[in-house]
Amino acid sequence: MRSSLNINVNGLLLLLCGVNLAGTLGYKPVIIVHGLFDGPKQFLMMSRLIQEAHPGTNVSVIDLYDNMASLKPLWVQVQGFKELLYPIMQEAENGIHLICFSQGGLICRGLLSTLPDHNVQSFISLSSPQAGQYGDTDILKMFFPHYLKARVFHVCYSSVGQKWSICNFWNDPHQRERFLKSSNYLALLNGERPHREMTEWRKNFLRINKLVLIGGPDDGVITPWESSHFGFYDINETIVEMKNQEWYGRDSFGLKTLHARGDLAVYVLSGVKHGYWHSNETVFRGCIEEWLT
């Protein structure tokens, strides 16, 4: 009887330890924002990896604007995600971490720029076209089967085109003036088109403790792939690295400040296709895990 009692008491203690492990070890809640044509089911592996590495972590994959609904304008999505994320932030006294994949990385930037009291600690941008997209990918051909990349601006840089998320970050290096005039999302986020909220947005974005940029040359969707690290084409389609971008030099939205603070981590991984970043254990162990404590 005594032996049985000891076993039951020990089992209960182990259960209680498991329940309280996340709080004891200081694991913060993790919120995952999906990309274009994705939804929660694509992130089951990512959730499992987080739980295995940091048992008890509260992981939330936001079930909103899934699949075809992910084509809605990015500002509409930012507002929707904000309404779901904000209560989670308020309940997390020590802050939260954001993992944002592909288009989701741009949505998260919108959230971070427009929420003055967010408590995001690590913002992990996973293969996201942070400097824009310009390439003849399969996704582009699906939407614009009769257009080459050089002609997509006719659609994207119009009032109708800006109602599609993919056009909100289409960045044609040969149509610079049209981009600056028509882009109602990326040009504003990057501070490339001046607006009255620039100072406030920069201040809000700089509330994060760490910005983690992850991408690689074999992605196959993000074009150029360096956009995942804030690099992009010049008019000759030669890559201009992040540090040589005008908005970096002007520190328009705080990227230069983050870099100077030592709060920018950049990872380049070869051999990873776009749809596999969030299920690749090597990516998680080498680029993500350490920023989720």
Per residue in 73-94, pLDDT (tens digit) is: 999 999 999 999 999 999 999 9
> Is 172 among the residues known to form the active site?
no
User: pTM higher than 0.95 for the full model?
Assistant: no
Query: pLDDT tens digits for 155-197?
Result: 999 999 999 999 999 999 999 999 999 999 999 999 999 999 9
**Whether the predicted pLDDT of 10 surpasses 70:** no
Q: How far apart are the C-alpha atoms of 68 and 66, rounded to whole Å?
A: 6
Res 25: pLDDT: 63
Q: What is the mean pLDDT of residues 60-82?
A: 97
The CATH number of domain 25-292, selected from 3.40.50.1820, 2.60.40.10, 3.40.50.1950, 3.40.50.720: 3.40.50.1820
| pLDDT value of position 147 | 65
Catalytic option among 34, 54, 229, 274: 274
> What pLDDT does residue 141 have?
64
Quick check: 9 pLDDT over 80?
Answer: no
Is 274 a known active-site residue?
yes
Give residue-wise pLDDT tens across range 104-119.
Answer: 999 999 999 999 999 9
Instruction: Please say if 219 is a catalytic residue.
Output: yes
Which sequence spans correspond to the domains of the chain?
25-292
Annotated active-site residue in 102, 122, 125, 252: 102
Catalytic residue among 97, 219, 227, 278: 219
Q: What is the reported pLDDT for 136?
A: 76
What pLDDT digit, counting tens, does each position of 263-272 carry?
999 999 999 9
Task: Examine the pLDDT at 19 and tell me if it is beyond 50.
Answer: no
26 pLDDT band, cuts 50/70/90, is: confident
Average pLDDT, the chain: 91
